[in-house]
Amino acid sequence: MLYILVAIALVIGFTLYQRGRKRQLTQVILTDTQRKLLATHIGYYSNLSDIDKAYFEDKIEQFLDGVRVEGVGLTVTDLDRLMVASSAVIPIFRFKDWSYRNVTNVLLYPDTFDEQYQYEATDGRNIAGMVGTGYMNGQMILSRNALVKGFSSGAGKENTGIHEFVHLVDKSDGATDGIPEGFLPFEYVKPWVRMMHQEIHKIEAGHSDINPYATTNEAEFFAVVSEYFFEKPDQFQTKHPELYDMLSKIFGQDLAKG
């Protein structure tokens, strides 16, 4: 009996020690007000158990420690920062020791922008988010309107923030090609590619409820179905059970209640 008590005390002590140690390592520490913002605005977070909520908060702090969120033509609020960080954390929530090495800055624009990153033009502004390449490497641009809409209750199966961070997960193996090699066991790569192409044909033929933007290429397909997976897991599992299983393997998450 005594041994068991000592063992329990050691485990608790070690856990607290680890938490205390990590606390000193992150400069960003969420306040109670910020935690309340998460609970009010981030459905994914409010569905988590208490232990997982604390884990989510840790990951938010780590993300905000390493990535600057800057406003272009707007003042960034606490909620903006938390929404960007949540978009980043949701896809990688079950990855061990993951950090986004391929982004240092997220630029928030008021609304959609065009290919020259202009948001004031009256037409041609149809981009809600992008991951920079070339001289824009390490930068992400997000429309704040689209970001906020993605976390509103009427978002449907779309979430621009999650979409862009899934591109970064995809890009982590060197190629943004819809195949996240680091997270998909080798034997699943071929079936996954076949599955993507089959569904793209269905979308093109008008036989799928997946956003047609997914037919652009494999990378967009992966980002678009991932939005659907995280936003409407039950519906996605019912309508696309095979895609659901594959994304569940990739992200290590099984969110559907069915």
The span of 45-53, 178-186, 193-201, 223-231 binding Zn ion (CB under 5 A) equals 223-231
CB of 217 to Zn ion, least distance (A): 9
Q: Which residues pair with 130 in a beta bridge?
A: 141
Rounded CA separation 53/128 (Å): 29
Site track for Zn ion across 149-188, x = CB under 5 A: ----------------------------------------
**85 makes contact with Zn ion (CB under 5 A):** no
CB of 221 to Zn ion, least distance (A): 10
- Which of residues 106 and 223 has its CB atom nearest to Zn ion in the complex? 223
CB of 163 to Zn ion, least distance (A): 6
**What residue number has its CB nearest to Zn ion?**
223
DSSP E strands in 116-182: the ranges are 129-131, 139-143
Contact yes or no for 183/177 (Cβ under 8 A): no
**127 makes contact with Zn ion (CB under 5 A):** no
CB of 167 to Zn ion, least distance (A): 6
CB of 168 to Zn ion, least distance (A): 11
- Which of residues 216 and 238 has its CB atom nearest to Zn ion in the complex? 216
Contacts of 233 (CB under 8 A, 6+ apart): 244, 255, 256, 257
Order of strands across the sheet with 129-131?
Answer: 68-71, 105-109, 139-143, 129-131
CB of 130 to Zn ion, least distance (A): 7
CB of 88 to Zn ion, least distance (A): 15
- Which of residues 124 and 241 has its CB atom nearest to Zn ion in the complex? 124
Q: What angle do CA 126, 80, 99 make, to 5 degrees?
A: 95
**25-84: contacts with Zn ion (CB under 5 A):** none
DSSP 7-21: HHHHHHHHHHHHHHH
Residue with tokens 């938490």: 19
**102-121: contacts with Zn ion (CB under 5 A):** none
- Which of residues 220 and 231 has its CB atom nearest to Zn ion in the complex? 220
Residue with tokens 């232990």: 51
Please name which of 56, 215, 72, 68 lies closest in space to residue 144, comparing C-alpha atoms.
Answer: 72
- Which of residues 61 and 227 has its CB atom nearest to Zn ion in the complex? 227
For 145, phi then psi, to 5°, come to: -55, -45
Rounded CA separation 153/170 (Å): 27
**182-221: contacts with Zn ion (CB under 5 A):** 220
**223 makes contact with Zn ion (CB under 5 A):** yes
Q: How many CB atoms lie within 10 A of CB 132?
A: 16
Residue numbers at the binding site for Zn ion (CB under 5 A): 220, 223
